[in-house]
Every structure is written in C-alpha cells, then in structure tokens.
A = this chain, B = another copy of it.
Amino acid sequence: MDILKDLGELAIGSRLRRLSDQMMNDVKAIYKNFGIDFNPKWFPVFYTLVKHEKLAIMELSEQLNITHPAVIKLAKELQKEGYIDSEKDTEDRRKRYLKLSEKGRALLPELELAWKDMAKGGYDLLQNKQNNLLHAIQEVEYALREKSFFHHIKEARIERMLKAIKIVDYDPKYADEFKKINYNWIEKYFKVEQADIEALDGHQEKILNKGGYIYFAMYENEIAGTCALIKYSDERYELAKMGVKDKFKGIQIGKKLGLTVIAKVRALGGKVLFLESNKSLKPALNLYTRLGFKEIPMIGGSVSDYERADIKMEIRF
C-alpha cells in the first residue's frame, strides 16, 4: 500500500525525494561493496574538480547549483580525507581555490571504473521505459524555468476562482457592501471627499435614478468586488467606484467587472466611456489599459469633482 502513489501531482515532491534517497543509498552501498572509501555526496564537487583543475568555492556553488555553505562543508570533508588541497588566490585575497590532491588523483582510476558501472547500471535501469525519467526531469526543469510551480498553482487558483465569479445586478441588500468596499480603498490610499459621500451614500439618487448601474462580483455567496456605471447622457458614461476586496485581489475580478460595464455601454449605444483615476494606482491603470482605455488630457473641458483625480482615460465606441 502506497498512498503517495495515488496522490499523483499532490505528492510529487515527496516521491521525488523518496526515490532520490533510495538511489543515493544504493550508491553509498555500492562504493562500500566495491571497497572504495568514497561518499556519494562528494561526487559533484570531486567530479567538477576532476574536470576543471582548480575552482573557487563560489564557482563550485554556481556550477553545481548548491549553496556555498554546502560546498564549504563538502570541501572540509574532502580535505580531511586528503582528497583535495586548497590554495589562496594570489591576486584576490578573499578567494580560495580547491583542487585534487595527489591522493585524490590516485583514487581517480578506481572511481572512474565505479562511475562507469554506475552509469551503465543507471542506463539499464532507466532505459526501455515508456517515459524516460532523465528526459522527464529535463523537461520539467526546463518548464520550471519558464514558469515556476508556484506560478502554475497560482494560475490554477485564479482560473478556478474566476470561473466561480458571477457578476450580478444591483440589489438594495448589497448597498452596504458597495459603500464599504469603496470607502475602504479610498481611506487606504487617499481621503474621502464630498463627491465620494454623495456618490456612495447617495448612490440611489446619484447613480441608479439617473439611469446608471451598479454591479457586484459574487464568489459563492460572498461579494468580492463592485463597480458603478454612471450615465451623463445617452452618449456619455463614466466607469467609477470600482473596488475589489483584498482577499480577492489578483484574480482579475476588476477585469470581469470592467468588461461587464463596457458591454453594457455598448448595448446602450453609448459613444464614450471615461474614467478618472490617480497615477499612483498602477495595477488599476494597467487594468484600464488592458480593457482598451486610452489616456486623454485632463485640462480643458470639465474639471474633475475629485481632488485625487490626476489622470483621465476613455474608450470611444
């Protein structure tokens, strides 16, 4: 019975570790069986020094993808065994070069035979399989360089949550959430202005009664975010009061709300959808740009009702 096996992707880390431990142990036993006084953990450092004559601690650390304290520890053990020597760099007095000693070089022929056997044994073990472990690792390592496991998981989460997000129309029972979410971000980054109070506390009169809309993003039974569409005329609309709760940040709820508003304006036959914002709100501005908004000059025409507004954007239909 092996639970890890049945857990698939969830336990991949543990299984890799288990397999690694098992194989390393066998290699340890092999050196002993062959009568060679050599610890398999020394192999990477030792082998690299065979190939490179002399190398500094950091150079080894980089080549082997292990931390420098690990290199230092291994070097200490190898020096204790007498397999390597170390010498100071003459130019850079911080640097210390490691190289094989006489004794190390004397051990080499014997080691090389053992390595040959291990390579052959490993080859026999890994060959003739449907999926080659070595190549599989290669491919995964490569894929991880493109996008980390962390990133993969985050994307899976975003996808899952986004799929569960539903945009719903205004309902008086959500009125408090509309106010709370907006007061929250306004107080966090700026200060509440008169126009905010009018639009939020007076949203029925100032937004809805004037032919505007308020939308909510629902995740299961919880409000995750909101935004308003304010009507100025049959041609002219404003996207405003968009906010997303902290715990739902980063899963593109804003995008979903924005697309809803844009679709609505299009359906209403509007000609312009504009918005006002502040240049310090980088993620928001990125979103607006991705939604298709273009920056337009603030000066000339109407001046904003909001002190914090220092950028204006619009979409023309």
**Chain B CB within 10 A, most for which of A12, A119, A154:** A12
B117 touches A65 (CB 8 A): no
B154 touches A33 (CB 8 A): yes
Residues of B within 8 A of A290 (CB): none
A130 and B137 CA atoms in complex are apart in Å by 11
Q: A121 is contacted by which of B16, B63, B155 (Cβ under 8 Å)?
A: B155
B122 touches A152 (CB 8 A): yes
A131 and B5 CA atoms in complex are apart in Å by 18
A156/B63 contact (C-beta < 8 A), A10-B43, A125-B140, A131-B131 known: no
The interface stretch among A142-150, A179-187, A210-218, A295-303 is: A142-150
A148 and B226 CA atoms in complex are apart in Å by 60
A9 touches B137 (CB 8 A): no
Q: A143 is contacted by which of B125, B144, B155 (Cβ under 8 Å)?
A: B125
B160 touches A9 (CB 8 A): no
A1-45 contacts to B, CB under 8 A, are 1-5, 7-24, 26-27, 29-30, 33-35, 40, 43-44
Judge if A80 is at the interface, Cβ distance under 8 Å: no
A211 and B13 CA atoms in complex are apart in Å by 67
Judge if A136 is at the interface, Cβ distance under 8 Å: yes
Residues of B within 8 A of A116 (CB): 156, 160
A96, chain B: closest CB distance, angstroms: 20
Residues of B within 8 A of A12 (CB): 23, 122, 126, 133-134, 137
B137 touches A125 (CB 8 A): no
Q: A47 is contacted by which of B7, B19, B132 (Cβ under 8 Å)?
A: B7
For A156, give the chain B residue with the smallest CB separation.
Answer: B120
A153 touches B19 (CB 8 A): no
Q: A8 is contacted by which of B18, B119, B139 (Cβ under 8 Å)?
A: B119
Q: A129 is contacted by which of B4, B48, B118, B136 (Cβ under 8 Å)?
A: B136
Q: Mark A50-62, 1 if CB is under 8 A from B, else 0.
A: 0100000000001
Judge if A174 is at the interface, Cβ distance under 8 Å: no
**Chain B CB within 10 A, most for which of A44, A150, A153:** A153
Judge if A138 is at the interface, Cβ distance under 8 Å: yes
A13 touches B40 (CB 8 A): yes
For A116, give the chain B residue with the smallest CB separation.
Answer: B160
Cross-chain pairs A/B with CB under 8 angstroms, 17 sampled: A2-B65, A3-B63, A7-B47, A8-B134, A12-B23, A13-B27, A14-B43, A27-B153, A117-B156, A121-B149, A122-B149, A122-B152, A125-B149, A130-B135, A131-B133, A133-B139, A136-B136
